[in-house]
């Protein structure tokens, strides 16, 4: 069975409720953040750790934090860190992600075909992100994942710069 589908089923069934690092579970939910790959363990071991059957070592958790650009204190926090939309700073963070989506939208509107392709995926992701923010259930990890994903879409859709070079000229002075 596909481990990601298994993860989704077990997470919905509440099997991971007692896991001591719930923010690691949030990382697993994000498309562009990775647990098993950066921890250098199999996906089966990650799921077993979430179920409480195995343990991830401190070094493995540190690598997940380091390579995903997440503070270690966030991953080891015993509660899921949720953004509070009544705080100005958190509203600015959400606006920053939404501005990335708008930037991608503008790139597509200007005729960038790669941006148009990425916009199809980004639209759904941005809707999920804004919905979570609106109902005050936006986790810090979800914010980081959405920000990284939209930044990647913009990076991948950027047009290739023209290469500077010289042209081969025939010498007409002969």
Spell out the per-residue pLDDT of the chain, length 174, in tens.
588 899 999 999 999 998 999 999 999 999 899 999 999 999 999 999 999 999 999 999 999 999 999 999 999 999 999 999 999 999 999 999 999 999 999 999 999 999 999 998 999 999 999 999 999 999 999 999 999 999 999 999 998 778 888 877 766 555
Count of C-beta atoms within a 10 Å radius of residue 25: 20
Tell me the C-alpha distance between 123 and 44, whole Å: 31
pLDDT of residue 4: 86
Selection from 61, 84, 87 nearest residue 74 by Cα: 61
- Which letter does DSSP use for residue 79 in this model? S
Q: How far is CA 3 from CA 13, 129, 170, in A?
A: 15, 24, 62
Selection from 52, 8, 49 nearest residue 31 by Cα: 8
pLDDT of residue 173: 59
């Amino acid at each position: 069975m596909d481990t990601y589908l298994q993860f989704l089923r077990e997470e919905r069934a509440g099997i991971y409720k007692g896991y001591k690092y719930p923010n690691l579970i949030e990382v697993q939910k994000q498309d562009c953040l990775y647990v098993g790959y950066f921890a250098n363990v199999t996906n089966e071991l990650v799921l077993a750790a979430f179920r409480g059957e195995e343990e991830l070592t401190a070094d493995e958790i540190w690598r997940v934090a380091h390579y995903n650009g997440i503070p270690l204190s966030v991953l080891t926090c015993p509660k899921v860190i949720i953004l509070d939309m009544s705080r100005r700073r958190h509203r600015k963070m959400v606006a920053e992600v939404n501005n990335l989506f708008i930037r991608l939208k503008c790139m597509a509107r200007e005729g960038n075909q790669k941006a148009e392709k990425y916009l199809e995926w980004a639209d759904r992701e941005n809707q999920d992100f804004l919905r979570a923010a609106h109902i005050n259930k936006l986790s810090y990890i979800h914010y980081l994942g959405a920000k990284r994903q939209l930044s990647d879409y913009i990076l991948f859709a950027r047009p290739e710069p023209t290469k500077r070079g010289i042209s081969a000229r025939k010498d007409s002075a002969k």
